[in-house]
Amino acid sequence: MNKYLSLIFLYNRASHRKILLLVGAIPLSFLVIFLLRIGNPYDTSSYMLMERAFGGVWAVLLFITINVMGLMTVVNSLNGKKSLKATHATIGYTMRRLGLSPISSFLIIFFYYLAIILIFWGVAIASLYGIGKIGLTMAGATGIDTKLALGLLRTEIGHVLIPIAHPTIIIFNIVAALALAGECARSCYFGWHNGRQSAGVALVIVPMFLIWTYLSENSYILMAILLLIFYAAFSFGDVISREKRPKGDPFMVNKYIGIMDLDSTEFDDSIRLEVNSAAETYDPSLLKRYGRGTEHGMRNGLKKLNPVWLRRRFMPLGSNLERANFFFGVCIFIGIAEHLLFFGRYLMQLDLIKNSIKGVTIDSGVRMPYFWDMQEHTYYGYIIAILLVVLLQAYWNYEYYNKETKSVYVMKRLPNRKEYPRTIWVSPVIQAFFIAMIMTLHTAIDLVVYVLGTPEVALHPDYLSHILPFCN
Write down the pLDDT at residue 175.
92
Closest CA to 219 of 353, 86, 348, 411: 348
How far apart are the C-alpha atoms of 282 and 290, rounded to whole Å?
A: 14
Write down the pLDDT at residue 87.
40
DSSP codes joined into one string, 25-74: HHHHHHHHHHHHHH--GGGS--TTHHHHHH-SSHHHHHHHHHHHHHHHHH
Write down the pLDDT at residue 77.
65
Give 166's pLDDT tier (boundaries 50, 70, 90): confident
Question: Span 429-439, mean pLDDT?
Answer: 90
Q: Are strands 357-358 and 361-362 parallel, antiparallel or unpaired?
A: antiparallel
Query: pLDDT tens digit string along 435-469?
Result: 999 999 988 888 888 888 888 888 887 777 767 66
Query: pLDDT tens digit string along 237-270?
Result: 877 777 665 544 433 334 434 444 444 434 444 4
- Residue 84 pLDDT more than 50? no
This prediction has a pTM of 0.62
Query: pLDDT tens digit string along 366-409?
Result: 788 888 888 888 888 899 899 988 988 888 888 888 887 778 77
- Residue 273 pLDDT more than 60? no
Question: How buried is 374 (Cβ within 10 angstroms: 0-12 exposed, 13-18 middle, 19+ buried)?
Answer: middle
- Residue 309 pLDDT more than 80? no
Query: pLDDT tens digit string along 185-234?
Result: 888 777 776 556 667 787 788 888 888 887 777 777 887 888 888 888 88
Higher pLDDT, 448 or 288: 448
For residues 423 and 410, is the Cβ–Cβ distance under 8 A? no
How far apart are the C-alpha atoms of 420 and 400, rounded to whole Å?
A: 11
Write down the pLDDT at residue 260.
41
How far apart are the C-alpha atoms of 452 and 463, rounded to whole Å?
A: 13
Give 347's pLDDT tier (boundaries 50, 70, 90): confident
DSSP state for residue 270 in the 8-state scheme: T
- Residues with Cβ within 8 Å of residue 284, at least 6 apart in sequence: 293
